[in-house]
Amino acid sequence: MQPASVLILPGLGNSGPGHWQTQWQAEHGYERVEQANWDRPNLQDWLNTLQHAVNARSSGVVLVAHSLACSLVAHFAKVHPERVLGAFLVSPADVESKRCTPEETRCFSPIPLAPLPFPAHVVASSDDPYVEFERARFFATSWGAGFTDVGCRGHINASSGLGAWPEGHAQFRACLARWALA
């Protein structure tokens, strides 16, 4: 049994046609949460849009976040976690690091580090330019999330050459099973 809704949460700039999130949406029928401004993110606007998307569903949701959207999920968990059944968090961008991320993401800091009130799993690459590997592991530990190291895969995006990233989808489905949602 699949949860009522799987919501795709892209990060800064959205996820283009070659991104695994877009391909999962097309192949598996997941729904993308469309932000009003992908290039100039505003935390409160993104939180409101996510809340609206969650409220529009008749039952609980699973969030599949990439990059900046991982911070969005951590912020959302502080205020509206009730209908979130789980979160699959890929390549969490370190919005607190001026070296790793652009200035327009700074409004998502500080990154909440409290344990998430729902099951979660972080997937990170050892050579991600937007987060140091140990920092990604720290996020997972702080959030009480599982953790997978996928090796050298960059930002785990279209530039990583993953296509539909079937290995990632298998990990996601394994998480759903572990969380008793599949």
Residue 1: DSSP 8-state: -
Average pLDDT of 48-71?
96
Residues 167-177 have pLDDT tens digits of: 999 999 999 99
What does the pLDDT look like over 43-54, one tens digit per residue? 999 999 999 999
Task: Note the pLDDT tens digit of each residue in 7-19.
Answer: 999 999 999 999 9
Q: Are 62 and 85 in contact (CB under 8 A)?
A: yes
Gap between the Cα atoms of 157 and 63, Å rounded: 17
Q: What mean pLDDT do residues 120-125 have?
A: 98
Task: Please tell me the predicted confidence (pLDDT) of residue 84.
Answer: 97
Beta bridge partners of 121: 88, 146
Handedness of CA 84, 86, 88, 91 (dihedral sign): positive
β-strands 146-149, 31-32 pairing: unpaired
pLDDT at 4: 64
CB atoms within 10 A of CB 17: 8
The pLDDT of residue 1 is above 50: no
Task: pLDDT band for 132, please (50, 70, 90 cuts).
Answer: very high
Q: Is the pLDDT of residue 2 over 90?
A: no
63, 84 Cβ separation under 8 angstroms? yes
pLDDT tens string 78-109: 999 999 999 999 999 999 999 999 999 999 99
All domains of the chain in start order, with CATH:
5-178 (3.40.50.1820)
Where does 5-123 have alpha helices with state H? 20-28, 43-55, 68-79
| pLDDT above 90 coverage of the chain, percent | 93
Diameter of the chain by CA atoms? 42
From residue 11, give the alpha-carbon distance in Å to each of 1, 33, 38, 67, 71.
28, 11, 8, 5, 9
Residue of 66, 132, 59, 65 lying closest to 97 (CA atoms): 132
**Please, what is the average pLDDT of the chain?**
95
Residue 61, token pair as written in the block: 């949701």
Q: What is the pLDDT of residue 59?
A: 85
Mean pLDDT of 55-67: 95
Strands 120-124 and 146-149: parallel
With contact defined as beta carbons under 8 Å apart, do 12 and 67 qualify?
Answer: yes
**What pTM, to 2 d.p., does this model score?**
0.96
